Each structure stands twice: as C-alpha cells, then as structure tokens.
C-alpha cells in the first residue's frame, strides 16, 4: 500500500484508527480457550467487529513469538484472515527490529517477503539506535514502510530520548534522531512512532518531519488524548495512524467481547471523523 492509497482509505473510512492485536491468552474470554486456536479465534472476531472502522492493524510480534511455533501459526492464520481486506487495511508488524545490515536484511525478508516467510506486512517497526545501515535493508523493499521509533511514551523514554545535545542550538536526542533518519527515507516509505502521552512534543516533531505519517500509540488505556494528538500532529493529509489496543481488545471479558470492541472502535472512529472534518481533510 502506497501513501496515496493509505490517505484514500483514511478518507473513505473517515478514520485513522489502528487496532493493535496484542493478544494475551490470559486476557481473552474463557469460552475461547476451548477452541483449537484461541488466539486466532479472538483475533478473527476482533477483526470482523472492527474492520468497518479501522484503517490499520498492528500485531505485536512479541505476543506471538513468545508462544513458539503455535504463536507463529496463530499469527499466520490472522494474516491470512485479513487477506480479503488488504486493499483497505495497512498491516504493521510491531517487531521493533534493528541490527547490523545483513541481520536486518533477514528481518526484512521475515516481514516483507511472502515467498520466503509467508508474511507480507506493509510495514515494520524498527529501532534506530544502530544507525542507517541497520534501517536501510528494510527500505530496499518496494512499497514497504519503516516505522522508526522516535519518541515513546514509556517511563524509560527519559533515560535517553530527552537527553540534551549541545550543538550550536541545544536539542533533545529524539530531535536529532528525527533530523538524521528522515534523510534515510521519504514520506513515501518512512513513518515515525510518537507516543500519544507525549502529545505536547508533537509540535516539535512536526517542525522536523511535517509531511511524514506518525504512528501514535497510547490513546485509550494508556491515557493519551486523541484531540491533542490531532491538534498537534495532524497535517494536510491527516498524517496520523492512532493505535488503540487494550481499550478495544478487552472492552469486555465475556461472550459479548466482539460487540463491545466494535462499540469502542466506533466511538474512536467518530472522534476521528470529527477531527478530520475540523482540519478539512474530508
């Protein structure tokens, strides 16, 4: 999916919602545990319930690989279930990879080369700490995207991301990461991850990368404000994918979980439509 197609889907669905598929066995409704593959059955129900409102899905790879081969099988079945919808959903592997060039090349094959691995994600999250040669192999894949970690919402973000660099004009490390890495790719193949609980910093992010899409986790269960994210982060093309995971996945722990997930997704989509109209995007 290229940038134009993604923007068209946002306008068509009046939404920039990304549903995070961070599925945990201990949290899904108990009646699903009796099925052959509880994780897949849960994901399938969530996707069916939210597909009208979501423009993206983001499986968190750790939740699948932690279960070994069965987890990878659940992920593959989830991706296969999404296949008929691939023209309308942007599929992100939340893997946070990043290693020396030849290793990154193998990671890129894992998530982008269907003939090799069976997976065909649109994008993968990548950590930039090891520099350009650790990111470049992902950018070599045509019509695929890198989602580079720029400014996260966890407590530990203060350990490094907000350290000051004394250049001619002092700046934070995260600002330097944005300045340098934005030259590695383009707004057509690179996005940046910026946590919703750092909404006040989105203005600074947009000064450096005004055209790039931002993946913004942390709205919902983590307490991020969708209105603030839109106010400080939206650009002329929307330029946002806002992720919600727990608030949708676990809106109910009972047999009505899919119905409640749909209601939560619909509420977020409605708020997003309001913001898209406010900024004259639709």
Q: What tens digit of pLDDT does each residue of 120-166 get?
A: 999 999 999 999 999 999 999 999 999 999 999 888 988 999 999 98
CA-based angle 54:57:59, to the nearest 5? 155
- Confidence at residue 94, expressed as pLDDT on a 0 to 100 scale: 98
Q: How many Cβ atoms are within 10 Å of 261's Cβ, its own excluded?
A: 25
Q: Which residue has the higher pLDDT, 14 or 228?
A: 14
> Which ranges constitute the DSSP H helices of the chain?
3-13, 38-50, 62-65, 69-82, 101-112, 114-117, 132-139, 157-160, 173-181, 202-208, 226-233, 246-249, 257-278
- Confidence at residue 101, expressed as pLDDT on a 0 to 100 scale: 85
Across residues 82-91, what is the average pLDDT? 97
- Using an 8 Å Cβ cutoff, are 207 and 151 in contact? no
- Confidence at residue 29, expressed as pLDDT on a 0 to 100 scale: 97
- Confidence at residue 199, expressed as pLDDT on a 0 to 100 scale: 76
Across residues 29-51, what is the average pLDDT? 97
Report how far apart, in Å, the C-alpha atoms of 51 and of each of 44, 74, 161 are: 10, 19, 35
- Confidence at residue 238, expressed as pLDDT on a 0 to 100 scale: 98
pTM of the model: 0.95
Q: With a cut of 80, say whether residue 65 has pLDDT above it.
A: yes
Structure letter (DSSP) for residue 235 = B
**Active-site residue numbers?**
96
Q: Which residues contact 52 (CB under 8 A, 6 or more apart)?
A: 13
**Phi-psi sector, 272: left (phi>0), alpha (psi -120 to 50), beta:** alpha
Q: Which residue has the higher pLDDT, 222 or 247?
A: 247
Q: With a cut of 90, say whether residue 218 has pLDDT above it.
A: no
Q: How many domains does the chain have?
A: 1
Q: With a cut of 80, say whether residue 198 has pLDDT above it.
A: no
Segments forming the whole domain that contains residue 94: 3-278
- Confidence at residue 155, expressed as pLDDT on a 0 to 100 scale: 87
Residue with the two structure tokens 């052959």: 36
- From 38-47, 98-107, 211-220, 268-277, the region with the lowest mean pLDDT: 211-220
Percentage of the chain lying above the pLDDT 90 cut: 89
Report the CATH number at residue 126.
3.20.20.70
Task: Tell me how long the chain is.
Answer: 282
């Amino acid at each position: 999916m290229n940038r134009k197609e993604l923007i068209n889907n946002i306008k068509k669905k009046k939404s920039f919602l990304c549903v995070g598929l961070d599925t945990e066995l201990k949290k899904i409704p108990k009646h699903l545990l009796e099925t052959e593959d509880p994780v897949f059955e849960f994901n399938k129900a969530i996707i069916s319930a939210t597909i009208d409102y979501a423009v993206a899905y983001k499986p968190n790879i750790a939740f699948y690989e932690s279960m070994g081969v069965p987890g990878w099988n659940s992920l593959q079945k989830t991706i296969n279930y999404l296949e008929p919808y691939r023209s309308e959903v942007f599929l992100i592997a939340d893997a946070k990879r990043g290693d020396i060039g030849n290793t990154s090349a193998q990671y890129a094959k894992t998530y982008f080369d269907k003939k090799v691995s069976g997976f065909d994600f649109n994008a993968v999250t990548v950590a930039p700490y090891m520099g350009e040669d650790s990111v470049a192999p992902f950018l070599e894949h045509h019509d695929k995207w890198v989602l580079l970690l720029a400014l996260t919402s966890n407590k530990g973000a203060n350990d490094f991301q907000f350290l000051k660099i004394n250049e001619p004009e002092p700046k934070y490390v995260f600002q330097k990461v944005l300045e340098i890495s934005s030259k590695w790719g383009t707004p057509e193949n690179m996005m940046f991850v910026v946590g919703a609980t750092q909404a006040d910093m989105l203005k600074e992010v947009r000064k450096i990368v005004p055209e790039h899409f931002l993946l913004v986790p942390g709205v919902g269960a983590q307490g991020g404000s969708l209105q603030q994210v839109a106010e400080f982060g939206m650009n002329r093309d929307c330029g946002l994918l806002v992720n919600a995971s727990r608030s949708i996945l676990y809106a109910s722990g009972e047999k009505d979980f899919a119905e409640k997930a749909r209601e939560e997704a619909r509420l977020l989509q409605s708020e997003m439509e309001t913001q898209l109209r406010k900024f004259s995007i639709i």
